[in-house]
Amino acid sequence: MLVYLFSIVLCSNLIIGILLGLTGISGFLLPLIYVGFLHLPLRESLALSFLSFAVSGMIGAYSYWKSKNMDTRLALFLNIGSLPGAFLGVQLNVWIPDNIVKLLLYAFILLAGLSILFKKNQDNHESNISVSRSNLLENKIMVVLIGVITAAICSLTGAGGPILLVPLLASLGVNIRVAVGVSLLNSVIIAIPSIFGYFAHSNMESITQLIIASLIGTTLGIVAGAYYANRVKINYLRIFIALVTILSSIYMLITMFI
């Protein structure tokens, strides 16, 4: 049984790590796999998920920074808000019914994905300069507030940062690759308090082997995905992210009512 779990966790993290490296989206599938398919306890599932988010975020963010797909100013103010927001989310996990927050989260993700898909095509000429960038992103307080709210929702639900932040930033006019890079870095900040918070309520001794499988799979996957990210056409990447976002949010909404 342990070998089976080890193999499933390793393969799951490898595949999702590749998708994370390519798009910054798909980490939300980990808690679904852990809870729905492997039937692991909720706390252990969230702890393992955020551990993967932290590893993939560090490796992926470095790769995107190295390829000059990182807005450090935007990332800084988002992260300032995300740290307390993540602490808040872990606490809210205990107080607020999950279904209420998840319903709001998935509905927002669906709208953000539709916004990207039907937004007028912007020709960025494969540059890092965003077209029609929202003035909202120039307001430091608003960016910090976005960081607080998105981090709280993500740490509460285990959805991971990029699934919410990438479509949001893209809809505000941020270059899609930059949005992925910033979101991967932000996912590390969200994961740090979430890891400590959820591991504090889990039996770490029983999941040591799964932690190892998770780290190996995530590391290999994110390196491979980030390596090939710049070889994907920016318009194709935008469409792919929009479709993943829309389909995943619809799936999650459906599963809430069946």
- pLDDT tens profile 149-208: 999 988 888 777 777 888 889 889 898 889 988 998 999 999 999 998 888 877 756 678
Please check the confidence at residue 139 and state whether its pLDDT lies above 80.
Answer: yes
Please check the confidence at residue 123 and state whether its pLDDT lies above 50.
Answer: no
**What whole-number percentage of the chain has pLDDT above 90?**
24
Task: Give Cβ neighbours of residue 213 (< 8 Å, ≥ 6 apart).
Answer: 5, 6, 7, 9, 10, 13
Residues 164-185 as b/e (b if ≥16 CB within 10 A, e otherwise) read bbbbbbbbbbbbbbbbbbbbbb
- The separation between CA 112 and the C-alpha centre of its own chain, rounded to angstroms, equals 14
> What pLDDT does 100 receive?
80
For residues 128 and 177, the answer to whether their CB atoms sit within 8 Å is: yes
What number of other Cβ atoms are within 10 A of residue 76's Cβ?
Answer: 15
Distance in angstroms (rounded) separating the CA atoms of residues 62 and 69 = 10
Residue 131 confidence class, pLDDT cut points 50, 70, 90: low
> What pLDDT does 128 receive?
47
Residue with tokens 């709210």: 149
Of residues 249, 244, 213, 183, the one with CA closest to residue 51: 213
CA distances from 49 to 16, 33, 120, 169, 231 (A): 11, 10, 35, 23, 28
DSSP per position, 37-70: IS---HHHHHHHHHHHHHHHHHHHHHHHHHTT--
Residue 72 confidence class, pLDDT cut points 50, 70, 90: very high
Q: Which of 110-119, 134-143, 245-254 has the highest mean pLDDT?
A: 134-143
CA distances from 70 to 176, 248, 256 (A): 11, 26, 35
Name the more confident of 71 and 110: 71
